[in-house]
Amino acid sequence: MGCGQKESQEIKIAKGKAQFVGYGCTTCHRIGKEGGALGPDLTTIGFRKSPEWLDLWLKNPPEWKKNTLMPNFYLKDQARKDLVDYLSSLKGNLFRKGEAPWNTRELLQDPVKRGETIFLRVGCVGCHGHSGKGGYPNNNVVGNQIPSLKLVADGFSKEELKNKIFKGSKPVPANSSKEAPYIYMPSWGEYLKEDEIDALVEYLYSLRPPVSAEESW
């Protein structure tokens, strides 16, 4: 019984992978070394997003995020389920098995650039936007958005920032009688190594806009 179940799970994942290629998702999304970069890298998508949200997103991307580049594919229920199974299985193993793209000799000498590469490739960008500029929706949170990270250097010491990334955090619902927010900050300590989180901290600190002479008083 257990064996049959495992096999059917593997078949579902294989079907989802075939859908992913068949629908041309690879044009915009990278998994491991393959695919385009118009949309977020999906190598860790199953670690950072729940199956419930993935299903909601694939049903109608522009309904969740206005003006998104990702089209509505009007997927049939079965195709969508297979895709969700496949995406949920992607927990970042590909980066751990092969060379993680942020461990090149050049990047190891440049913590800010290395942090930026990690930010892009593990998918911080999928929730916080490019350069942490924000603008990504969440449900049932004050302001209806995932926070921007532009100014975290003002609110957090490096140690606090490291701790936040390590532990993650579940947003407090704006209204406790409504459905909990779908999007939460994952506990990155379960996936990232300490030196990788250090590089992310250096990158986030580099995002703070310079204070102009006029604004400084």
Q: Which residues bind ligand HEC (CB under 6 A)?
A: 20, 23-25, 27-29, 38-40, 42, 45, 48-49, 54, 57-58, 65, 68-70, 73, 83, 87, 119, 122-124, 126-128, 138, 146-147, 149, 152, 155, 161, 164-165, 169, 171, 183-186, 188, 200
Q: In terms of CB distance, is 67 or 212 closer to ligand HEC? A: 67
Shortest CA distance to 163 belongs to which of 134, 200, 108, 131?
200
- Nearer of residues 117 and 138 to ligand HEC, judged by Cβ: 138
How far is Cα 216 from Cα 22, in angstroms, rounded to an integer? Answer: 54
Measured from the CB atom, is 98 or 135 closer to ligand HEC?
135
Nearest residue (beta carbon) to ligand HEC: 126
Helix (H) or strand (E) holding 163: helix 158-167
CA atoms within 13 A on the CB side of 26: 13
Residue pointed to by tokens 């199956």: 51
Min CB(199)–ligand HEC separation in Å: 10
> How far is Cα 87 from Cα 45, in angstroms, rounded to an integer?
6
Q: How near is the Cβ of 135 to ligand HEC at its closest, in Å?
A: 8
Going by C-alpha positions, the residue among 95, 83, 88 that lies closest to residue 47 is 88
CA distance 135 to 129: 7
Min CB(4)–ligand HEC separation in Å: 27
To ligand HEC, the closest distance from the beta carbon of 42 in angstroms equals 6
Q: Tell me the C-alpha distance between 64 and 57, whole Å.
A: 7
Q: Indicate the residue type of 52.
A: E
Backbone angles phi, psi at 24, to 5 degrees: 75, 25
Q: Is 43 in contact with 92 (CB distance < 8 Å)?
A: yes
Q: How far is the CB of 3 from ligand HEC (least distance, A)?
A: 29
- Cβ distance to ligand HEC smaller for residue 6 or 180: 180
Nearer of residues 7 and 142 to ligand HEC, judged by Cβ? 142
Judged by beta carbon, residue 7 or residue 190, the one nearer ligand HEC is 190
- Shortest Å, Cβ 44 to ligand HEC: 8
